[in-house]
Chain A
Amino acid sequence: MQILKLLLMVSVIAVVSIFGFVYSGLYPIGADDSHTRVVYWALETLLERSVANASKDIVVPALDDPKLLLAGGPDYNEMCASCHLKPGKSESDLSLGLSPEPPNLTISDGDHGDDHDGPEQRFWVIKHGIKASGMPAWGLTHDDQRIWAMVAFIQKLPELTPFQYQILTARTSSNEEHSH
């Protein structure tokens, strides 16, 4: 009985202090102030687990068709390069200013590239975006085919030279944007 009372009190205090903290305004919300290790770990894990879970049933189509690269290139250049960079560019206003910072998609992150960089995860992230980060949901305005083309393009992106990138992403009138 005694213990039950104690537990109840502790949880009431915990709840009150969480609300108190939220209302106090003491949390530093600025994007130029980085997260503490614990918060960073929690958010990163939350993101990885959530994306892995949500994308597990996605079937990946063949992605090495040159047509996909040609369709995805100009879209990437216009919609994504400002945050995710392009060959020959290592920072931009947005890549520096956002928190969480947009990953540089022109380098392959070999160390932890195993599970959260699969094409199905990338497709899911591009389509649905990531809450409370700079990453928008592009699926509201772009169909799946177009998103897969961008996935195909960013799979190749780390190998591209600035010259190859320029040719692949130039928008010619034969692949003008149709759905905007």
Chain B
Amino acid sequence: MKTKIIVLTTALLVSMLVAAHDPKEHAKESKAPDCQSLASMDHAKMDMDDPVMKAMFAKCKDAMSEYGDGHDKENHDMDMKDTASVKDGDHDGGHNDDHGHDDPH
């Protein structure tokens, strides 16, 4: 009886561990929108009536004004820094255009 309880408890604990590791997809969830690439695209070719385009520009306008506030990091642990300043070893694949930050504007 006792061993059964121990075995069951262990099984339960192990399964909880597994559950805690499982949503690995979530690791990538809080990343700043890649607005720099949007800005560098050819706007003339875009259909500005497309709701998807409108939504993208709205999102990026928001994101920019957020960075514009100046006091960034304090209580944003969400990687909300200016997309242009990719420093502190944060080259984790969010920016797929590599020339983005070594290009002196």
Contacts from A to B (Cβ < 8 Å): 64-67, 69-70, 73, 77-78, 81-82, 92-93, 156, 159-160, 163-164, 166-168, 170-175
Contacts and interface: CB of A to CB of B under 8 A. Distances in A.
Contacts of B78: 171, 173
B31 interface: yes
Given A81-B25, A171-B30, A175-B62, 6 more contacts: A65-B51, A82-B25, A93-B22, A163-B96, A166-B34, A173-B66
A70 B58 contact: yes
Question: How many B residues touch the partner, as a band?
Answer: 20 to 34
A4 to B, nearest CB: 53
Contacts of A70: 55, 58-59
A81 B23 CA distance: 11
A82 B24 CA distance: 9
Nearest to B63: A172
A78 B32 CA distance: 14
Residue of B37, B56, B60, B62 with most partner-chain A CB within 10 A? B56
B66 A167 contact: no
A167 B22 CA distance: 25
A41 to B, nearest CB: 32
Residue of A65, A172, A174, A175 with most partner-chain B CB within 10 A? A172
Interface string B21-61: 01101100111111101100000000000011011101110
B91 interface: no
B87 interface: no
26 contacts: A64-B51, A65-B51, A66-B58, A67-B55, A69-B52, A70-B55, A78-B26, A81-B25, A160-B52, A163-B96, A166-B33, A166-B34, A166-B94, A167-B33, A167-B35, A167-B38, A167-B56, A170-B31, A170-B33, A170-B34, A171-B78, A172-B33, A172-B59, A172-B62, A173-B78, A174-B66
